């Protein structure tokens, strides 16, 4: 297994190198000029030209790409064109909110979706199954931002229970203050994942529940709960784990809308802001980070299969 | 777990839950003003960019030698006094006592000279002052002189320029930076200090009261007078989504929202704890800008034709949503300021005359060339104007289309000098705040310096001559006359078309008082109960 992990990690480097080249090339070709944004509305063409020269943006593609790769190899992601702050510092500021939002959402999603999926499968065709599926359709159909505004209106403006926006650093604030800023965003972001995971859990469980060994377990007189959890759910876990893994990756990208609506200073907002301003070093830095996260999550999901199915070995 | 350990754990949890933990922020008991700014602060250098948000940041941390008051009078700000020689060629400036930078160093004459020098390399009015300047000399730490080659009546007005670029005073070590390179150190001598360690670009900027700041004794008026800070800390919380910003103000999570979109006014006006107000006496001016290098708008008749078709009332409603938040302004200068007039504005005002416009288009020899309006859909003011102009051009039978993108794309594309077939453009829209259009010196889109002019690159030596004559006007009457001559020429040459004057209202909670009526949201004098 160790050899497999090492092989996958080496593959990660290759994937990231390809990503780096494509991102750099695409940004080079994309219309937009950070010098024009820096100069402001009143600047002249000459002003912009001079700022471009100062930033090294007038250099040929290969010189810029080579310089960036060389710095990257030394662990330097560069400096934001606008704020003059290191990209690693900007990413460092934004990792905690996104991580907190993603983990809370994942926790809410799994804790709600898996029992709902199991319940729906165990009572397939009943009103509770239909209710779960109806909720699932609603979860897929309702745009995150619409649901977010509904939550804000009800829980923040009308009831005044939870804050409208913002994020509180975990280390510098009370646990409750930290948590209460994440409740509404996690629910808003989690709904679609609850729907997704619940549907997959139901489908996977229905498939497993039709197997002979389940019938055997029931015939042996086992109670429904041990059959569902100990026998069925464990064997239905691989597709569920796969979808949770994909979900984490989707959550990170899905967090962009949630972070914007709830004004959470996360990686998603950093990415969007950087794209709008053409802050090339930041865009390149976060893209590399995203690709690394995707690859690592995929690896972890693959490894987790061994826990649920002893037949799988790498 | 033994009993005492359980009690300790319970106490810790309770403290954590109620926010009384020892790691709770130290500023919890301070008077904190939570302010939602118009944009995200990304660049700290108010000389390297003309972005208004950076200008506003500049007013927080820096001070100026002079400032303009609400009557457009120039008042000393960092200066104790100043003198002008009888031949109007030498100015002597003396700094006030007790001026200190945030790092504790005293403000010296050398700091002021270096700051003005850097500013005058970027700002149009500063460049004009530099052209007339023979030398800046430090007499001693508190006194310095400006020697001119020829009288420059606007010298003090230049140093009191209220909007971008503002001649802010920085420490000499910072002001020596290349003016085309962003400074990183926000050390100034202004009423607030920026806490750079707490700066999260895209989210929060934190300022604390500069306790060393010595305000002037005069009452506050625009950027002049006593800048008395009445809160301990100001947090700029950038909320990109306007519905969320409105909700945050409604719920009391923010105290003041600098600029709100008009469609949210009814929502906030319902809350009795919130005041929605127009505090900007000058507002902003929208505009249609042409590309003078290529057909069809390289022909003055085509530009004149549009003067007869533009209905400013439509643009004001399109931008501001409600006629109460704007008005037509048939002038090339900000309406409500001393030089504004309706001289030669007949083609732009009154009933719209599409027949006359069509006749001028015919006379121009328009051959159906494609007109490309570049639009930024992420900027509502630009987008609304683009759609209205497209509709107007279609009604005139012109071959027009909108090419939409974001603001980042628009400001890059407008620098392209090629024809539309090769990625160029014919028209773009933007807006300027009132102070940026008050006279021919600051009104940069009016200029006709060709390649060196603003995007669109108009060439008109006549308007430049008239502008130069305005600079030499020695009194208010001759200044007004010279400015009117510039406007008269502008209505012939049509460097751009003003689309009206509008105000984006501000909204603040009732626990806030002392909001200054000014074209910029100044945060001194604000009291929070």
pLDDT tens-digit series, residues B135-187: 999 999 999 999 999 999 999 999 999 998 999 999 999 999 999 999 999 99
In a domain, B43, yes or no: no
User: What does the pLDDT read at residue B46?
Assistant: 95
Residues 272-311 of B with CB under 8 A from A: none
Average pLDDT in the B417-438 region?
Answer: 94
* C-alpha neighbours within 13 Å on the C-beta side of residue A171: 3
pLDDT tens track for B65-74: 999 999 999 9
- Rounded to a whole number, what is the distance in Å from the CA of B230 to chain A's nearest CA? 25
User: What does the pLDDT read at residue A126?
Assistant: 93
User: What does the pLDDT read at residue B1?
Assistant: 43
CB distance from B87 to chain A under 8 Å? no
Claim to verify: residue B342 and residue B222 sit in the same structural domain: no
Lowest-pLDDT range of A240-244, B88-92, B220-224: A240-244
Res B438 pLDDT > 60: yes
Q: Which residues of B372-389 are buried (b: 16+ CB within 10 A; e: fewer)?
A: bbbbbbebbbbbbbbbbb
Q: Is B521 exposed, middle or buried (0-12, 13-18, 19+ CB in 10 A)?
A: buried
Nearest residue to B341 (alpha-carbon basis) of B419, B440, B207: B440
DSSP track, B183-201: ------SSSEEE-GGG-BT
Average pLDDT in the B282-303 region?
Answer: 97
Of A33, A84, A270, the CB nearest to B202: A270
Q: How many CB pairs under 8 A join A and B?
A: 158
What letter would DSSP give residue B77? Answer: S
Helices (H) and strands (E) in chain B, counts: 15, 23
User: What does the pLDDT read at residue B434?
Assistant: 94
Tokens for A11, please give them.
């593959």
User: What does the pLDDT read at residue A314?
Assistant: 66
| CA gap A297, A290 in Å, rounded | 11
pLDDT tens track for B328-363: 999 999 999 999 999 999 999 989 999 999 999 999
Average pLDDT in the B422-427 region?
Answer: 94
* C-alpha neighbours within 13 Å on the C-beta side of residue B473: 23
Lowest-pLDDT range of A3-12, B97-106, B310-319: A3-12
User: What does the pLDDT read at residue B26?
Assistant: 53
Q: What is the CA radius of gyration of chain A?
A: 24
Please tell me the pTM assigned to this model: 0.87
* Enclosing H/E stretch for B143: strand B143-148
Supply the range of the domain harboring residue B92: 52-209
Res B419 pLDDT > 90: yes
Of A40, A80, A163, the CB nearest to B164: A40
With bands split at pLDDT 50, 70 and 90, how would you rate the model's confidence at B25? low
* CATH number of the domain that residue B429 is part of: 3.10.105.10
Res B134 pLDDT > 50: yes
Contacts of A166 in chain B (CB under 8 A): 237, 253
Contacts of B251 in chain A (CB under 8 A): 156-157, 160, 163-164
Claim to verify: residue B442 and residue B461 sit in the same structural domain: yes
Tokens for B81, please give them.
């006094």
Claim to verify: residue B274 and residue B290 sit in the same structural domain: no
Tokens for A188, please give them.
């808003």
Contact A157 B40 (CB under 8 A): no
Tokens for B499, please give them.
């689309």
- What distance lies between CA B119 and its chain's CA centroid? 16
* CATH number of the domain that residue B155 is part of: 3.90.76.10
With bands split at pLDDT 50, 70 and 90, how would you rate the model's confidence at B28? low
pLDDT below 70 — which residues of chain A?
Answer: 253, 313-314
What letter would DSSP give residue B50? Answer: -
Spatial neighbors of B114 by CB under 8 A, at least 6 apart, are: B170, B172, B175, B176
Among chain B residues, CA nearest to A38: B49
User: What does the pLDDT read at residue A251?
Assistant: 79
Average pLDDT in the B8-34 region?
Answer: 56
Contact B407 A276 (CB under 8 A): yes
pLDDT tens track for B374-384: 999 888 899 99
Claim to verify: residue B96 and residue B158 sit in the same structural domain: yes
Domains in chain B: how many in total?
3
Claim to verify: residue B9 and residue B113 sit in the same structural domain: no
| CA gap B287, B265 in Å, rounded | 24
- Rounded to a whole number, what is the distance in Å from the CA of B107 to chain A's nearest CA? 26
Of B181, B405, B411, the CB nearest to A37: B411
* Edge-to-edge strand ranges of the sheet holding B90-95: B79-84, B90-95, B143-148, B133-138
Contact A174 B432 (CB under 8 A): no
In a domain, B42, yes or no: no
Asked whether B249 and B36 are in contact (CB, 8 A), the reply is yes
Spatial neighbors of A135 by CB under 8 A, at least 6 apart, are: A116, A194, A195, A198
User: What does the pLDDT read at residue B17?
Assistant: 42
CATH (one of 1.20.1250.20, 1.10.3720.10, 2.120.10.70, 3.40.50.150) for A94-313: 1.10.3720.10
- What distance lies between CA B346 and its chain's CA centroid? 29
Total residue count of chain A as it appears in this document? 314
User: What does the pLDDT read at residue B27?
Assistant: 60
User: What does the pLDDT read at residue B490?
Assistant: 98
| CA gap B93, B79 in Å, rounded | 7
Spatial neighbors of B289 by CB under 8 A, at least 6 apart, are: B427, B428, B429, B430, B445, B454, B455, B456, B496
DSSP track, A9-63: HHHHHHHHHHHHHHHHHHHHHSS--HHHHHH-TT--HHHHHHHHHHHTTTS-HHH
| CA gap B199, A192 in Å, rounded | 33
Asked whether A178 and A168 are in contact (CB, 8 A), the reply is yes
User: What does the pLDDT read at residue B96?
Assistant: 97
Spatial neighbors of B485 by CB under 8 A, at least 6 apart, are: B466, B469, B470
- Rounded to a whole number, what is the distance in Å from the CA of A269 to chain B's nearest CA? 8
Contact B411 A31 (CB under 8 A): no
Mean model confidence pLDDT for chain B: 92
H-helix segments, B133-241: 155-159, 172-175
pLDDT tens track for B371-414: 999 999 888 899 999 999 999 999 999 999 999 988 878 888 89
Q: Which residues of B344-361 are buried (b: 16+ CB within 10 A; e: fewer)?
A: bbebbeeebeeeebbebb
Q: Where are the domains of chain A?
A: 2-73, 94-313
Claim to verify: residue B461 and residue B331 sit in the same structural domain: yes
First to last CA, chain B: 47
In a domain, B476, yes or no: yes
Res B12 pLDDT > 80: no
In a domain, B39, yes or no: no
Contact B49 A40 (CB under 8 A): yes
């Amino acid at each position: 297994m160790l050899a497999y992990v090492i092989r996958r990690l080496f593959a990660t480097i290759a994937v990231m190198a390809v990503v780096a080249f494509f991102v750099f090339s695409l940004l080079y070709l994309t219309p937009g000029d950070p010098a024009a944004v820096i100069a402001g509305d009143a600047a002249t063409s000459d002003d912009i030209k001079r700022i471009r020269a100062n930033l090294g943006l007038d250099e040929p593609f290969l010189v810029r790409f080579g310089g960036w790769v060389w710095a990257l190899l030394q662990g330097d992601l560069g400096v934001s064109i606008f704020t003059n702050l290191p990209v690693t510092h900007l990413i460092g500021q934004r990792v905690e909110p996104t991580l907190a939002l993603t983990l809370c959402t994942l926790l809410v999603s799994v804790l709600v979706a898996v029992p709902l999926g199991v319940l729906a499968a165990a009572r397939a065709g009943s009103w509770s199954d239909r209710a779960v599926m109806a909720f699932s359709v609603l979860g897929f159909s309702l745009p995150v931002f619409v649901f977010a505004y509904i939550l804000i209106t009800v829980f923040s403006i009308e009831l005044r229970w939870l804050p409208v926006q913002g994020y509180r650093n975990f280390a510098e604030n009370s646990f409750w203050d930290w948590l209460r800023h994440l409740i509404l965003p996690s629910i808003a972001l989690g709904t679609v994942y609850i729907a997704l995971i619940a549907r997959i859990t139901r489908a996977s469980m229905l498939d497993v529940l039709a197997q002979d060994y389940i019938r055997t377990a029931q015939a042996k007189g086992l109670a429904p709960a041990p059959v569902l959890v100990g026998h069925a759910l464990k064997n239905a876990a691989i597709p569920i784990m796969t979808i949770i893994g994909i979900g984490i990756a989707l959550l990170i990208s899905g967090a962009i809308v949630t972070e914007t609506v709830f004004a959470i200073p996360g990686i998603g907002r950093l990415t969007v802001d950087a794209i709008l301003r053409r802050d090339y070093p930041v865009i390149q830095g976060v893209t590399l980070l995203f690709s690394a996260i995707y690859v690592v999550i995929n690896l972890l999901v693959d490894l987790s299969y061994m826990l649920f199915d002893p037949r799988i070995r790498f | 777990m033994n009993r005492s350990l359980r009690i300790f754990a319970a106490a810790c949890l309770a403290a954590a839950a109620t926010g009384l933990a020892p790691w709770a922020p130290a500023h919890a008991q301070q008077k904190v003003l939570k302010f939602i700014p118009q944009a995200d602060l990304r660049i700290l250098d108010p000389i390297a960019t003309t972005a208004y948000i950076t200008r506003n940041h500049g007013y927080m941390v820096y001070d100026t030698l002079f400032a303009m008051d609400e009557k457009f009078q120039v008042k000393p700000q960092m200066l104790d006094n100043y003198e002008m020689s009888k031949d109007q060629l030498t100015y002597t400036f003396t700094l006030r006592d007790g001026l200190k930078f945030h790092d504790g160093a005293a403000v010296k004459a050398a700091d002021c000279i270096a700051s003005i020098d850097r500013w005058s390399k970027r700002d149009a009015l500063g460049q004009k002052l530099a052209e007339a300047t023979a030398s800046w000399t430090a007499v001693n730490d508190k006194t310095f002189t400006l020697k001119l080659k020829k009288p420059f009546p606007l010298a003090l007005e230049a140093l009191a320029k209220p909007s971008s670029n503002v001649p802010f005073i920085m420490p000499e070590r910072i002001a020596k930076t290349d003016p085309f390179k962003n400074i990183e150190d926000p050390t100034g001598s202004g009423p607030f200090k920026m806490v750079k360690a707490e700066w999260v670009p895209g989210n929060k900027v934190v300022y604390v009261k500069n306790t060393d700041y010595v305000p002037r004794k005069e009452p506050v008026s625009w950027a002049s007078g006593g800048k008395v800070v009445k809160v301990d800390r100001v947090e700029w919380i950038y909320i990109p989504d306007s519905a969320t910003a409105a909700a945050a103000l409604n719920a009391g999570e923010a105290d003041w929202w600098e600029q709100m979109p008009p469609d949210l006014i009814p929502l906030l006006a319902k809350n009795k704890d919130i005041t929605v107000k127009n505090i900007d006496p000058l507002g902003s001016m929208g505009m249609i800008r042409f590309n003078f290098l290529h057909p069809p708008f390289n022909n003055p008749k085509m530009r004149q034709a549009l003067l007869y078709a533009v209905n400013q009332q439509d643009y004001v409603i399109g931008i501001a949503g409600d006629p109460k938040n704007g008005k037509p302004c048939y002038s090339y200068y900000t309406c409500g300021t001393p030089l504004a007039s309706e001289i030669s504005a007949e083609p732009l005002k009154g009933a719209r005359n599409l027949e006359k416009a069509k006749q001028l288009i015919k006379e121009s020899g328009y051959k159906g060339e494609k007109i490309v309006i570049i639009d930024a859909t992420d900027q509502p003011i630009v987008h609304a104007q683009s759609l209205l102009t497209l509709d107007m051009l279609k009604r005139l039978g012109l071959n027009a289309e909108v090419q939409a993108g974001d603001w980042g794309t628009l400001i890059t594309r407008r620098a392209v000098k090629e024809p539309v077939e090769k990625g160029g453009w014919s028209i773009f829209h933007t807006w300027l705040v009132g102070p940026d259009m008050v006279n021919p010196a600051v009104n940069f889109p009016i200029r006709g310096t060709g390649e060196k002019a603003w995007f669109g690159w108009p060439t008109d030596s006549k308007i430049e001559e008239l502008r130069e004559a305005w600079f030499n006007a020695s009194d208010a009457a001759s200044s007004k006359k010279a400015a009117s001559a510039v406007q008269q020429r502008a209505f012939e040459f049509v460097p751009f078309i003003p689309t009206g004057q509008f105000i984006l209202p501000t909204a603040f909670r009732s626990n806030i008082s002392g909001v200054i009526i000014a074209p910029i949201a100044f945060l001194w004098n604000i009291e929070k109960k």
